[in-house]
Amino acid sequence: MPEENRRRGVIAYLQVLPTWMVLGIFFVLPLVIMLVISFGQRGTYGGLKPIEDLWAYVSAGGFLANYRRSIEPLYLSIYWRSLWMAVVTTLLCLVVSYPIAYYIAVVAPARFKNLLLGLVVIPFWTSFLIRTYAWMLILRTEGLLNSVLLGAGVTDQPLNLLYTDFAVMIGLVYGELPFMILPLYASLEKLDLGLLEASLDLGANKVATFFRVTVPLTMPGIVAGIILVFIPSIGQFVVSDLLGGAKSILAGNLIQNQFAIARNKPFGAAIAFELTAVVLVLLFAYAMYTKRKGQEVLL
């Protein structure tokens, strides 16, 4: 009924109105302001340099100066490093998470599933900063791990674990693990074991069954997990500051430095928008993929 549809339409508009108001004013608008700022230049003391002749500035392409600077080799190497770190983190998470998600979804007795899942999530409920600090206590020269290793006689010199890439990786994987386990679990739970049996019956061995039946069937969960882990990993900076000894600059540190230290807001904004653009491209690819498969997108 057209009247019913119109009523439905009105109700729907009313339902999204608060969202649009909040997001429109306190999200979209600030971002637009930031975008405008990214076309500006840093003033002598931070802040913005006033532009005398707007038309000349725009037509000369001056407004793209920050974007041009941001693709200089120095910065490209930083993005590359961030990308690489995010990829490794995501892969590690995937490899570590799949077996445990499989265990909870398929192997564990039904009455324990919720408990086991809850146990995965509970560490997530403590302060992220404090969990990272706990890793510092574990990994430092006079920390727990070294005390145990020295005491047990495994090594005679304390290992230099803190302030290394290794420590940063541990911190990152640690923080992102639940975000990979949960989507994997969701997919694995829906897995029809009968299909696996059929595959085995038809002569495939277990390895082949895994890669040619299980993995494709759980691909939605894998992809969702990859997205949920990859995106925050690209933009993070706290873990590399605390556990990495602030020795490396990742994209997140770069942006933070521009805003907090170099006080070059326009440049920082430009980098930030580029980072966002990369993520958007990835998400677009994901949307294309799910559309092709005819499955529901995340939202």
Residues 6+ apart with CB under 8 A from 106: 188, 191, 193
C-alpha distances in angstroms, 98 versus 89, 212, 246? 14, 16, 31
Is 104 a binding residue for other proteins by CB under 8 A? The answer is yes
Is 23 a binding residue for other proteins by CB under 8 A? The answer is yes
Is 112 a binding residue for other proteins by CB under 8 A? The answer is no
Is 183 a binding residue for other proteins by CB under 8 A? The answer is no
The region of 26-34, 51-59, 60-68, 149-157 touching other proteins under the rule CB under 8 A is: 26-34
Question: Which one of residues 194, 207, 292, 294 is an interface residue with other proteins (CB under 8 A)?
Answer: 194
Is 137 a binding residue for other proteins by CB under 8 A? The answer is yes
Count, residues near other proteins per rule CB under 8 A: 120
d(C-alpha 76, C-alpha 14), whole Å: 45
Within 142-161, which residues bind other proteins (CB under 8 A)? 142-144, 147, 160
Within 224-283, which residues bind other proteins (CB under 8 A)? 231, 235, 237-238, 241-242, 245-249, 252-265, 268-269, 272-273, 275-276, 279-280, 283
Identity of the residue, 91 or 200, whose beta carbon is nearer to other proteins in the bound complex: 200
Within 206-235, which residues bind other proteins (CB under 8 A)? 231, 235
Is 201 a binding residue for other proteins by CB under 8 A? The answer is yes
Is 179 a binding residue for other proteins by CB under 8 A? The answer is no
Identity of the residue, 59 or 298, whose beta carbon is nearer to other proteins in the bound complex: 298
The region of 58-66, 83-91, 95-103, 149-157 touching other proteins under the rule CB under 8 A is: 95-103
CB of 58 to other proteins, least distance (A): 21
The region of 55-63, 84-92, 118-126, 149-157 touching other proteins under the rule CB under 8 A is: 118-126
Identity of the residue, 59 or 276, whose beta carbon is nearer to other proteins in the bound complex: 276
The region of 52-60, 83-91, 131-139, 215-223 touching other proteins under the rule CB under 8 A is: 131-139
